[in-house]
Chains A and B, each alone.
Chain A
Amino acid sequence: MKKILILGTGCAKCNKLYDTAKDAVDAVGEHYILNKVTDIQEIMKYGVAMTPALVIDGEVKSVGRVPSVDEIKEMLK
């Protein structure tokens, strides 16, 4: 089971990353929990200053951009 977090304060890009990540995990067919983190203090704990960021199982995978579905699939492996 993968724990996926989307870090972002609620801008358009953050919502897009959420949707993209959802598409990617659905395509891989993995069991997952997908959550948004909007609190700045929480976001800081991951060492992220540029939102949106993608965190998979506690590891920061991308910062400040929205990766494509294929890229996220690759990260999920």
Chain B
Amino acid sequence: MLWKSEWKPLAAIIAVFLAFFYLPIDSLRLKNGVMEAFYLTKWYAQEHVILCLIPAFFIAGAIAVFISQASVMKYLGAKAKKILAYGVAATSGSILAVCSCTVLPLFAGIYRMGAGLGPAIAFLYSGPAINVLAIILTARVLGLELGIARAVGAIVFSVVIGLLMHLIFIKEETARVNAQMAMPEPEVKRPLWKNIVYFAAMVAILIFANWGKPDQVGGFWSFVYSYKWPITGIFSIIFAVVLVLWFEIKWWKMLAISIPTIILAIVFHEHPMIPFAAAVIGLSIITASDKGETGSWFEESWGFAKKIMPLLFFGVLAAGFFLGRPGFEGIIPSEWVSRAVGGNSIAANMFASVAGAFMYFATLTEVPILQGLIGSGMGKGPALALLLAGPALSLPNMLVIRSIMGTKKTVVFVTLVIVMAAATGMIYGAIF
């Protein structure tokens, strides 16, 4: 036997064998963990997939196809005004970083060929935190408050950290790569306001379809809540008209999906998810069969779904297994969590921040994991600290960052992120 090559499978088999040999299958805790994993996944499947995730994928796909990235990149080039560059770098993640795999090349590009270290760092820090999918899911699952705090925190602190990095390393302005940054050519197909109407209609559908039930009756929120489906319907009609008028979708195709959707909406008005699902399927069929830009819109959306859904699925299962639903225990006792990251002490914030910085979160899985942690007693401050430090950094991406800007800058950057995230968490935890 070739031990050199065979030891790995052997070790794996032994590990699995031992795990099952000693599996405490009767232990209540393990049973709870397994059940919690399924409960949590079921809850996600019922509450978040059709109304929230699927529209969010369509929006992310639309951003990738219809928003001209070139118009943003020109503010991050070598000749860009510095103040503007920081602002654009801090906020453009929502447009440029719809996929986490584009963050690092863009970071390297801005650093070496574009606006320099500060804006590049600002982009690196805020990009993963403010991409549309992350914000939508955070606000939906963890609450609007934390969703907004995450976005605002990421933007503000990205600028602060970018500026600090710039000031610390002001003497060693890098030798720029000689290559001029190759700019993508802008494609102007329709005036900006048409795109804005298109995006606004889509975002409105997402917001109103997910309008949460307010705690008390009366007032604006509960008024909107009682009419959320008619409002969503009106925006869907606007969206359908926009697609036919400006996005070259044939009117008879649109009618072919609108009419069944309307019929379903009338027949099943108690179950709005049914017409919603029908509309999504119909839209997918017409866009997928298209060869032009709506075709690429579907392809991009599908690309996100294909990439993110499996990650999120396992993330939710794992979060349920280890941490349980809010109010229930998984494998890990809630005391441990509340002891480590409960309350709003410096230690709790620091711990959350450091753990977040080194841990690798696959796209969006930070949300169910954090939900589990909060349910097990994590404080709001540490939760935000983890959200801010987590997706921006992980051990593997630190290594890539190091290869781009060297060890010293990477160490300073990581330290700044950890300290800033912990500090922001403290402040947030003290206020809310």
Q: Which residues of A contact B (CB under 8 A)?
A: 9-13, 16, 40-41, 43-51, 53, 60, 62-66
A11: which of B99, B177, B180, B185 is its contact (CB, 8 Å)? B99
Chain A binder among B48-56, B106-114, B239-247, B327-335: B106-114
Which residues of B (196-230) have their CB < 8 Å from a CB of A? none
User: Are the C-beta atoms of B404 and A40 separated by less than 8 Å?
Assistant: yes
B101 on the A face (CB < 8 A): yes
Query: In the docked arrangement, what's the CA distance between A50 and B184, Å?
Result: 8
Q: Across the interface, do A40 and B403 meet the contact criterion of CB distance under 8 Å?
A: yes
List 10 A–B pairs whose Cβ atoms lie within 8 Å, in order of A's numbering: A9-B104, A47-B177, A48-B105, A48-B109, A48-B181, A49-B108, A50-B69, A50-B184, A51-B105, A63-B184
Looking at the assembled complex, report how far the CB atom of B77 sits from the nearest CB atom of chain A, in whole angstroms.
9
Q: List residues 297-325 of chain B with CB under 8 A from any CB of chain A.
A: 299, 303, 306-307
A60 and B183 CA atoms in complex are apart in Å by: 10
- Among A40, A53, A66, which residue has its beta carbon within 8 angstroms of that of B108? A40
User: A46 vs B404: C-alpha distance in the bound complex, in angstroms?
Assistant: 15
Which residue of chain B has its CB nearest to the CB of A53?
Answer: B182
Q: Report the separation of the CA atoms of residues A9 and B101 in the bound assembly, to the nearest whole angstrom.
A: 7
B70 contacts A by Cβ under 8 Å: yes
Whether B73 is near chain A, meaning CB under 8 Å from some CB there, is: yes
Q: Kindly list chain A residues whose C-beta atoms are within 8 Å of the C-beta of B403.
A: 40-41
Kindly state the separation between the CA atoms of A48 and B108 in the bound complex, as whole angstroms. Answer: 9
- List which B167-188 residues lie within 8 A (CB) of chain A: 177, 179-185
Task: Find the residue from A10, A45, A64 having the highest chain B CB count within 10 A.
Answer: A64
Contact B182 A60 (CB under 8 A): yes
In-complex Cβ contact of A13 among B108, B179, B185, B303 (8 A): B303
Interface residues in B53-69 (C-beta closer than 8 Å to A): 69
Chain A CB within 8 A of B400 CB: yes
B residues 98-126 near A (Cβ < 8 Å) are 99, 101-102, 104-106, 108-110, 112-114
**Please, which residue of chain A has its CB at the minimum distance from the CB of B178?**
A47
Beyond A12-B306, A63-B182, A63-B184, whether A49 also contacts B177 by CB under 8 A is no
Q: With the chains together, A45 CA to B181 CA distance in Å? A: 10
- Kindly state the separation between the CA atoms of A1 and B293 in the bound complex, as whole angstroms: 32
Q: Which residues of A contact B180 (CB under 8 A)?
A: 47
Residues from chain B with Cβ under 8 Å of A12 in the complex: 99, 303, 306-307
B306–A49 touching, CB < 8 Å: no
Q: Are B105 and A9 in contact (CB under 8 A)?
A: yes
Closest to B70 in A: A64
Contacts of A11 in B (CB 8 A): 99, 101-102
- Residues of A near B106 (CB, < 8 A) are 49-50
Question: A13-B303, A64-B69 are known contacts. Are A43 and B105 too (CB-CB below 8 A)?
Answer: yes
Minimum CB–CB distance from B144 to chain A (whole Å) comes to 31
The reply to whether A45 and B179 form a contact with Cβ atoms under 8 Å apart is yes
- B182 near A46 with CB under 8 A, answer yes
Partner of A44, one of B108, B183, B185: B108
Taking a contact as CB atoms closer than 8 A, the residue among A13, A45, A65 that contacts B184 in the complex is A65
Nearest-neighbor residue (CB-CB) of B180 within chain A: A47
For residue A43, which residues in chain B have a CB less than 8 angstroms away from its CB? 105, 108
Residues of chain A lying within 8 A (CB to CB) of residue B112: 44
Cβ distance A71 to chain B, nearest Cβ, rounded Å? 11
Quick check: B182 and A44 within 8 Å, CB to CB? no
Are B307 and A49 in touch, CB under 8 angstroms? no
Contacts of A49 in B (CB 8 A): 73, 105-106, 108-110, 113-114, 181-182
Contacts of A9 in B (CB 8 A): 101-102, 104-105
Which residues of chain B come closer than 8 Å to A48, judged between CB atoms? 105, 109, 181-182
Question: Nearest chain-B residue to A60 (Cβ)?
Answer: B182
A47 pairs with B303, CB closer than 8 A: no
Distance of A49 Cα from B106 Cα, bound (Å): 5
Chain A, residue nearest B101 (CB): A11
- B108: which A residues are within 8 A, CB to CB? 40-41, 43-44, 49
Tell me how far the C-beta of B291 lies from the nearest C-beta in chain A, rounded to whole angstroms: 9
Cα A12 to Cα B177 with chains together (Å): 27
Shortest distance in angstroms between A13's beta carbon and chain B's nearest beta carbon? 7
From 225 to 265 in chain B, residues with beta carbon under 8 angstroms from any chain A beta carbon are: none
How far does the Cβ of B173 sit from chain A's closest Cβ, in whole Å? 17
> Shortest CB–CB separation between residue B98 and chain A, in angstroms?
10
| CB of B306 to closest CB in A, whole Å | 7
CB distance from B294 to the nearest CB of A (A): 15
- Flag if A44 contacts B101 (CB, 8 Å): no
- The distance from the CB of A51 to the nearest CB of chain B, in whole angstroms, is 5
Instruction: List 11 extra interface pairs beyond A9-B102, A50-B184, A63-B185, CB under 8 A.
Output: A44-B113, A45-B179, A47-B177, A47-B181, A48-B109, A50-B69, A50-B109, A51-B101, A53-B182, A63-B182, A63-B184
